[in-house]
Amino acid sequence: MRKLDPEGAGDHIDALFRAALAMSGSRQIAEDLVQETYVKVLSRPRLLRRDDDLGYLVKALRNTWYSHLRKERVRREVTDPGSQPPEDFPARSSRDDPQAALEATEVLEALAALPEPYRETLAAVDVAG
Protein backbone atom coordinates (compact mmCIF):
# COMPACT_ATOMS: atom_id res chain seq x y z
CA MET A 1 0.00 0.00 0.00
CA ARG A 2 1.12 3.53 -0.72
CA LYS A 3 -0.25 7.05 -0.36
CA LEU A 4 -1.83 8.89 -3.24
CA ASP A 5 0.59 11.59 -4.35
CA PRO A 6 -1.29 14.92 -4.19
CA GLU A 7 1.20 16.51 -6.59
CA GLY A 8 0.74 13.76 -9.18
CA ALA A 9 -3.06 13.67 -8.86
CA GLY A 10 -3.33 16.86 -10.88
CA ASP A 11 -1.78 15.10 -13.88
CA HIS A 12 -5.07 13.26 -14.43
CA ILE A 13 -7.44 16.22 -14.51
CA ASP A 14 -8.02 16.06 -18.29
CA ALA A 15 -8.83 12.35 -18.20
CA LEU A 16 -11.19 12.86 -15.27
CA PHE A 17 -12.91 15.72 -17.05
CA ARG A 18 -13.49 13.57 -20.16
CA ALA A 19 -14.90 10.79 -17.97
CA ALA A 20 -17.16 13.23 -16.10
CA LEU A 21 -18.35 14.73 -19.38
CA ALA A 22 -19.20 11.27 -20.70
CA MET A 23 -21.10 10.44 -17.51
CA SER A 24 -23.04 13.67 -17.19
CA GLY A 25 -23.35 14.96 -20.75
CA SER A 26 -22.91 18.49 -19.43
CA ARG A 27 -19.71 20.52 -19.45
CA GLN A 28 -20.73 22.53 -16.38
CA ILE A 29 -21.68 19.46 -14.35
CA ALA A 30 -18.48 17.71 -15.45
CA GLU A 31 -16.38 20.63 -14.22
CA ASP A 32 -18.21 20.59 -10.88
CA LEU A 33 -17.80 16.82 -10.54
CA VAL A 34 -14.06 16.94 -11.17
CA GLN A 35 -13.62 19.80 -8.74
CA GLU A 36 -15.67 18.07 -6.04
CA THR A 37 -13.78 14.82 -6.60
CA TYR A 38 -10.42 16.51 -6.12
CA VAL A 39 -11.65 18.35 -3.02
CA LYS A 40 -12.79 15.08 -1.45
CA VAL A 41 -9.76 13.03 -2.46
CA LEU A 42 -7.16 15.62 -1.48
CA SER A 43 -8.84 16.59 1.81
CA ARG A 44 -6.99 13.80 3.60
CA PRO A 45 -4.28 11.24 2.79
CA ARG A 46 -5.49 8.29 0.72
CA LEU A 47 -3.95 4.82 0.72
CA LEU A 48 -3.91 2.96 -2.59
CA ARG A 49 -3.75 -0.81 -2.88
CA ARG A 50 -2.49 -0.71 -6.46
CA ASP A 51 -0.13 1.54 -8.33
CA ASP A 52 -3.01 3.09 -10.25
CA ASP A 53 -3.70 6.70 -9.31
CA LEU A 54 -5.99 7.26 -12.30
CA GLY A 55 -8.08 4.19 -11.51
CA TYR A 56 -8.56 5.39 -7.95
CA LEU A 57 -9.51 8.88 -9.10
CA VAL A 58 -12.01 7.55 -11.67
CA LYS A 59 -13.62 5.42 -8.97
CA ALA A 60 -13.84 8.49 -6.70
CA LEU A 61 -15.33 10.45 -9.62
CA ARG A 62 -17.95 7.76 -10.16
CA ASN A 63 -18.89 7.89 -6.48
CA THR A 64 -19.15 11.69 -6.71
CA TRP A 65 -21.41 11.29 -9.76
CA TYR A 66 -23.68 8.88 -7.84
CA SER A 67 -23.88 11.34 -4.95
CA HIS A 68 -24.77 14.11 -7.39
CA LEU A 69 -27.55 11.97 -8.91
CA ARG A 70 -28.96 11.15 -5.48
CA LYS A 71 -28.98 14.83 -4.47
CA GLU A 72 -30.68 15.81 -7.73
CA ARG A 73 -33.32 13.12 -7.34
CA VAL A 74 -34.12 14.28 -3.80
CA ARG A 75 -34.15 17.91 -4.90
CA ARG A 76 -36.56 17.15 -7.76
CA GLU A 77 -38.84 15.11 -5.50
CA VAL A 78 -38.99 17.94 -2.98
CA THR A 79 -39.50 20.79 -5.45
CA ASP A 80 -41.70 19.16 -8.09
CA PRO A 81 -42.55 15.46 -7.81
CA GLY A 82 -43.07 13.78 -11.16
CA SER A 83 -41.28 16.38 -13.25
CA GLN A 84 -38.49 15.50 -15.62
CA PRO A 85 -35.22 17.43 -15.45
CA PRO A 86 -34.48 19.60 -18.49
CA GLU A 87 -31.79 18.36 -20.82
CA ASP A 88 -28.63 20.32 -20.16
CA PHE A 89 -26.69 20.36 -23.41
CA PRO A 90 -25.37 23.86 -23.94
CA ALA A 91 -24.33 24.63 -27.47
CA ARG A 92 -20.60 24.46 -27.81
CA SER A 93 -19.04 26.96 -30.13
CA SER A 94 -15.72 26.72 -31.84
CA ARG A 95 -14.09 29.53 -33.75
CA ASP A 96 -11.94 27.09 -35.68
CA ASP A 97 -14.47 24.43 -36.65
CA PRO A 98 -18.19 24.92 -35.99
CA GLN A 99 -18.98 21.59 -37.66
CA ALA A 100 -16.76 19.78 -35.15
CA ALA A 101 -18.52 21.59 -32.31
CA LEU A 102 -21.91 20.48 -33.66
CA GLU A 103 -20.73 16.89 -33.99
CA ALA A 104 -19.31 16.94 -30.46
CA THR A 105 -22.66 18.17 -29.13
CA GLU A 106 -24.47 15.36 -30.95
CA VAL A 107 -22.06 12.79 -29.54
CA LEU A 108 -22.54 14.11 -26.00
CA GLU A 109 -26.32 14.01 -26.43
CA ALA A 110 -26.10 10.39 -27.60
CA LEU A 111 -23.85 9.50 -24.65
CA ALA A 112 -26.21 11.13 -22.16
CA ALA A 113 -29.12 9.12 -23.61
CA LEU A 114 -27.34 5.81 -22.91
CA PRO A 115 -28.14 3.83 -19.77
CA GLU A 116 -25.72 4.58 -16.94
CA PRO A 117 -23.63 1.37 -17.15
CA TYR A 118 -22.91 2.01 -20.82
CA ARG A 119 -21.94 5.65 -20.16
CA GLU A 120 -19.54 4.51 -17.44
CA THR A 121 -18.03 1.88 -19.73
CA LEU A 122 -17.46 4.39 -22.52
CA ALA A 123 -15.98 6.86 -20.04
CA ALA A 124 -13.62 4.20 -18.70
CA VAL A 125 -12.53 3.23 -22.22
CA ASP A 126 -11.95 6.88 -23.11
CA VAL A 127 -9.89 7.44 -19.98
CA ALA A 128 -7.91 4.22 -20.33
CA GLY A 129 -7.32 4.79 -24.03
32-47 tens-digit pLDDT: 999 999 999 888 888 8
Which is more confident, 6 or 60? 60
pLDDT digits (tens, 9 = 90+) for 47-106: 888 777 888 888 899 999 888 888 888 877 777 655 555 555 444 444 556 777 677 777
Helices within 4-115 (DSSP H only): 6-9, 13-24, 27-42, 53-79, 98-113
Q: How many C-beta atoms lie closer than 10 Å to residue 24's C-beta?
A: 23
